[in-house]
Chains A and B, each alone.
Chain A
Amino acid sequence: EDQVTQSPEALRLQEGESSSLNCSYTVSGLRGLFWYRQDPGKGPEFLFTLYSAGEEKEKERLKATLTKKESFLHITAPKPEDSATYLCAVQAVQGGSEKLVFGKGTKLTVNP
């Protein structure tokens, strides 16, 4: 069964305190790993897609990396506006169909 596990469930940081969020996955036929940001009351907002082990992508203070079993979202010198829930999802192939399987998310709070 395809599965995505995110840790920690919640993370509280001080402004400027760098850290990493983890996403481990088991999937047959990985077609891509996605990171999303979700603010309260809003839909998920696309951040990154990673396709192969060793791939890295950056956007402002965020950097996503991928291995064969997990992905990390590194947050460098976070600001309060980075507070949100970060979702990880894998695009898997099941019975010839592609489906997006989500983790439960990591709620990040950055205090000023």
Chain B
Amino acid sequence: NAGVTQTPKFQVLKTGQSMTLQCAQDMNHEYMSWYRQDPGMGLRLIHYSVGAGITDQGEVPNGYNVSRSTTEDFPLRLLSAAPSQTSVYFCASREGPYGYTFGSGTRLTVV
């Protein structure tokens, strides 16, 4: 039981490049979400999904796309990276009333 797995752990992009942050969970959780964590800002919700085929926007969705084709996977796509997207990204999942399980994060730098 690996929990929530995020890849890659570190990534450097040039402005304008695109990439996908991967998130997979093996707990059969319906709810999955993506957060970004910036110094002094706390964790902010980017997008979330309540089940396969269903996604919705969070607090800071601009510049990011998501899809949910399976229960296990919830990738986050940056279409055209900008320096303002430099951050640490966390994926989380939960089931029912229990606490959210977070991945170990992806540290992204856009130069």
| A49, closest chain B residue (CB) | B99
Binding site secondary structure of chain A: strand
The distance in angstroms between the C-alpha atoms of A48 and B25, with both chains bound, is 21
Task: Indicate whether A32 reaches chain B with its CB closer than 8 angstroms.
Answer: yes
A43 touching B104 by the CB < 8 A rule? yes
Evaluate contact between B41 and A104: CB separation under 8 angstroms. yes
Q: How many residues of B contact A (CB 8 A)?
A: 26
Question: Nearest-CB distance from A45 to chain B (Å)?
Answer: 8
Q: Which residues of B contact A45 (CB under 8 A)?
A: 102
B86 CB to closest chain A CB, in angstroms? Answer: 16
Among B33, B41, B105, the most chain A Cβ lie within 10 Å of the Cβ of: B105
- Seed contacts A44-B43, A99-B58; 16 additional CB < 8 Å A-B pairs: A32-B97, A34-B99, A34-B100, A36-B102, A42-B104, A42-B105, A43-B4, A44-B100, A46-B101, A49-B99, A87-B42, A99-B45, A99-B48, A100-B100, A104-B41, A105-B42
- Interface of A with B (CB < 8 Å)? 32, 34, 36, 41-49, 51, 87, 89, 97-105
